[in-house]
Amino acid sequence: MSTIAAMHDLYEKIDGLASSIPAAKNLITEIDRRKSAEDVYERYMVDQAAVITILTSAEKTKIHSYLDIRNQCAHPNEHISTAEEARNVFTGYIDTIISQPALLGPSYINIFVNRLESNSFFPKYDRDVVIDTVNKELEKLHDKTRKPLAKKLISIIETGEVNSVKWKNAKYVIAGMLVVIKDEDQLRNICIEFSNLIERENLFDSMLFITKMAPKTVDLLDSMDRKRYMANLIKSVNAENSNEGNEVVQLVLKDGFLQLNELSELVDKYTAEIQSSVQKTIFGTLRTSVDNLNKWSNIVKQLNISILDEIYFEKLLELIRDNDYSIVNEALEMLKGLDATFIKRMKAKNHADVVIQIMRQAHGPGRGSDAANKILKSKFEGIIFLVEYFLEYTTQNHEQLSYVMREQLLDIEYLLMIMDITHKHDFLKKVVDLIIESYNNDDIWDSHFLGQINWLITHKYNIEIWNDIPQYITTFMEGNEVTNS
């Protein structure tokens, strides 16, 4: 009975692999034929199971010995099976077949590799589909099969025809293995084999792909391979042709796999690249500068490193301040095309500077910047939050108000215009209060600002919320004169 149960279980295990393993499917077909013809099939099934590595050679030999005992007991002879022998056969079948999953050994690797030539090995090259497919394939393998399989896959990537179906599938399988396998020792044993992929320039893109799928790979490399990997990664990142390299940087940064010195080197590389995107000559700024900087927009946004944000936005401001309206127009269009959450990462002072420059460029020589005037006409549509940030910054304290009005020479008329077109009228009272609180009789700026505000409100505007401000200013000025007379 134990033999019948064991043979049935072995048959079920082979049948379970038949849907994905052609050799298992062929074996099931032949076993079914032999069963139908009432031919003996057990030894054949055991032998063929060993051929396709469901059983090891030692397991095959052990099962043959159990079948021999079964045959001796089934035929008239002088053999009398002992209770101990029967117990050994029973427990042996359980240990060798019934309690074991249907796993394939190292000799299955060649069969597996041949399957990689199929266009349908992966239903589609989607990350989740790849991981699911690889997970199901690994479930069929002995643990001891994983390392030799990985070595074979890496060998295909190293020596195979680049971008062939087999090469591409091998690349996806090894990347998927690094996601699916959780045992760190197994992972490190696989990553030891990556030296050639890291060192050889023509193969490094495949290493970037693997790391993109499994960012933890960086943390599993041995120290020398890691140094070489990071050197090549840093060398590869730029705005022109290394989207994959930049994506890998984002992933390993996000997942915390970068060491401080590695992060510092990457930041230095990005800094140099961003700064060099804006190019100057004796004739002025090159008109390619806006496009050059814009190529970094998404990269800097995704990296979300404050020092890179600062450098990027300083360069953008440099372009918005330019004397060439063509450059100014393109830079402002670029600004409007940026994601709002990205722009909001700009320093508060830079938010103020952007609004100041929009006003200045709109009222510059000639007809001014078309893009700046378009922003004013639209009442800062799409970037109204910049006005809010500008006004909050300007009215925060007297020092910041002085920066906007004195250092940057923003005309009071433009300040009121910003408040009016964006319906932020209540901020004017804050401006007046800041000037009054810090009023200095020896400083002509203070009296000039208050006098200009008073005149503009009286002669150019009819805003209800501003109606009391002229009298407020007049009362203060008269009282101040009496006090100081």
Question: Tell me: the pLDDT tens digits for 223-253?
Answer: 999 999 999 999 888 766 657 888 889 888 8
Helix axes 348-362, 370-377, angle to 10 degrees: 110
- The pLDDT confidence band at residue 137, using thresholds 50, 70 and 90, is confident
Residue 79, token pair as written in the block: 């053999």
Better pLDDT: 164 or 56: 164
User: Could you tell me if 187 and 146 are in contact, meaning their C-beta atoms sit under 8 angstroms apart?
Assistant: no
User: Could you tell me if 29 and 82 are in contact, meaning their C-beta atoms sit under 8 angstroms apart?
Assistant: no
Select, from the ranges 176-180, 279-283, 446-450, the one with the highest average predicted confidence (pLDDT): 176-180
Predicted confidence at residue 455, as pLDDT, reads 93
Average pLDDT over residues 321-348: 95
Residue 141's DSSP bridge partners are 104
Residue 285's DSSP bridge partners are 280
Q: What is the 3-state secondary structure (H, E, C) of 160-228?
A: CCCCCHHHHHHHHHHHHHHHHCCCHHHHHHHHHHHHHHHHCHHHHHHHHHHHHHCCCHHHHCCHHHHHH
Residue 228, token pair as written in the block: 């070489």
If we measure between CA atoms, which residue out of 138, 136, 134, 172 comes closest to residue 154? 172
Written as one letter, the residue type at 386 is L
Predicted confidence at residue 24, as pLDDT, reads 78
Positive/negative CA dihedral, 60, 62, 64, 66: negative
Average pLDDT over residues 11-29: 75
Rounded to 10 degrees, the C-alpha dihedral 338/343/346/350 comes to: 80
Q: What SS3 class is residue 104?
A: strand
- The pLDDT confidence band at residue 89, using thresholds 50, 70 and 90, is very low
User: Could you tell me if 271 and 234 are in contact, meaning their C-beta atoms sit under 8 angstroms apart?
Assistant: no
Better pLDDT: 192 or 12: 192
In percent, the amount of the chain with pLDDT more than 70 equals 85
What is residue 86's DSSP assignment? Answer: H
User: Could you tell me if 42 and 68 are in contact, meaning their C-beta atoms sit under 8 angstroms apart?
Assistant: no
Predicted confidence at residue 96, as pLDDT, reads 47
- Among the residue ranges 27-36, 164-173, 370-379, the one predicted with the least confidence is 27-36
What is residue 285's DSSP assignment? Answer: E
Predicted confidence at residue 98, as pLDDT, reads 41
Average pLDDT over residues 179-198: 93
- The pLDDT confidence band at residue 20, using thresholds 50, 70 and 90, is low
- The pLDDT confidence band at residue 321, using thresholds 50, 70 and 90, is very high
pLDDT at 462 over 80: yes
